[in-house]
Structure 1
Amino acid sequence: MSITANPGTAPAETERPSRQPADPRRRRGSAPRRRSGSGLTSRVAVNAFLVVFAVYSLLPLAWLLIASTKNHRDLFATNPFALGDFNLVSNLHALFTVDDGIYLRWFGNSVLYTVVGSLLSTVIAVTTGYAFDKYEWWGKEKLFGLVLVGMFVPSAVIQLPLYLLFSEAHLVNTYWSLLLPALVNPFGVYLARVFSEGYVPGEVLEAARVDGAGEFRTFGRVSLPMLTPGFMTIFLFTFTAQWNNFYGALMMLNDEELYPVNLGLFMWNKTVQQRPEHYSLVIVGALVAVIPLIVAFLCLQRYWRSGMTAGAVK
């Protein structure tokens, strides 16, 4: 059975309502204006927050810098943020010469505790984190769980047990009482494992082993250069913590010759009622004590920035 169209009739054409084409310029221009307005508001809000945060962070440092240029009379007779007679050079001379230059001894002690302790602590943390990541042994994850638990234990909680332990070992009031605790860094071990997972591919290690390199040579020649950003990041965190380690020094040290700079300034500050001239020395000494932290961050910030983004891009 076939169906044929009637030759006398033409097929009906379906009439569609005509639509005016929308103006592409108007359609394209409306959305960006809305996005532009919201984006501008977000940028203004973010920049305003950053400005407030920067002012909040830098205001104490600005006051410290201005106060360091004043003599003892101007510290209390002028506005805190008003410049007095410029006496920074004379204040520094008094700081470095008072009590036979004890401040320089404190500063040297801080450098010793911080640089040596941070360097050894970082080497141990990076090596341990690398071993947790690249090797398999029984109970590895359980042991790493103990490391994570150690991250959440405040350092002030363990100071009394450490003091009793070091007292039995006759290490109290020695350099070792601050250097040995610095070697234990659970947070550094955790960061080192994260960096090892993100920076050191297993294929590279297998290629080095195939070429005949031993494990120590593989770590020193292949893995450690890849872990440089992580190494510097952990070093900076440890450096800051060690330089500001006040409570540990307060618990362990009694000899003034062994004080770090923060503990020495604290002891000076306790005597300002009897020796008012120490007030200016404490302010100038605090300014000098901040300089190593600033220098460390300025010199190592590129490693720190790259280390903080580890694992963000896969």
Structure 2
Amino acid sequence: MQAIALTEFGGPEVLSLQELPDPLVGPDQVLIEVRAAGVNPVDWKIREGYLRGAFPHHTPLVPGWDVAGVVRATGPAVTEFAEGDEVIGYVRKDHVRDGTYAQLVSAADRYLARKPTTVGFAEAGGLPLAGLTALQALRAAGLDQGDTVLVHAAAGGVGHLAVQLATVLGAARVIGTASDGNRDFLDSLGAEQVRYGDGLPERVAELVGGDGRVDVVVDLVGGQALEQSVELVRDASRHVSIVDPERVLAQGGRYVFVRPDSNQLGWLGELIDQGRLRVVVQRTFPLAQAAEAHRLAQEGHVRGKLVLTTD
């Protein structure tokens, strides 16, 4: 099979299209013909070698944890899926090597859910990691009916899903930090835009009135945004970060590193089919152009998702 792989850590130029052996399929695994693979910030961080202290890494290393595709074969213990089924998955394994930037990937059935039927493979491939991250962060913050929620970096891959899911989960009001150029985009998702940076607590206070604070804060940026979060939230235990565990815990908040969950992923797919959640794909790239996708992702300011396709 063809796959994007690296043999040394570094910039986007270390990614190349290589011919690799087809994956093995264990008893409880599914062999997937990949149609789309979402590009996430963790992918370029793995490429740079930043996660070597968290996971064993092996080369040649194929990046990617998101997949949407078609089942080609199943192991003998698999009962949920059959050849020809369209599936999605957040395929984070215990070792970093056999990722989803490939024509084929094997994945344990517990990582997978059925692909939503109302969208194409590109949109479906952009859902798993970002959607699960958004959902698990909001739940970790204890989002409740009637809450006012603030999401940092609300126009990005996780952020644009988090603002929609906050409404689905019962938030009365959703505010998102973003550039002024993303005001209309956030409005289309049901969120109120507020400019990030210096003076954010004051701008939020003017927007919400009362004590000037919100019930829940989801930080997807770190740095200044996370520092400001403790000023923005009424109860420090209800601010969550996916970026900086040490700082958010020191501030009394919670840290979330997304975990695979097939039931949650299936529910997110159902929300898409019900028209209550949409994955916005800013741009797709052929698999061979993964390096260019990484360059764009690493620059930041992506609206929604970047996705690789094998078509």
- So what's the TM-score if we normalise by structure 2? 0.20
Query: Relative to total residues, which structure has the larger helix share, 1 or 2?
Result: 1
Query: Relative to total residues, which structure has the larger strand share, 1 or 2?
Result: 2
Which protein has the larger Cα radius of gyration, Structure 1 or Structure 2?
1
RCO comparison, higher one (Cα < 8 Å, 6+): 1
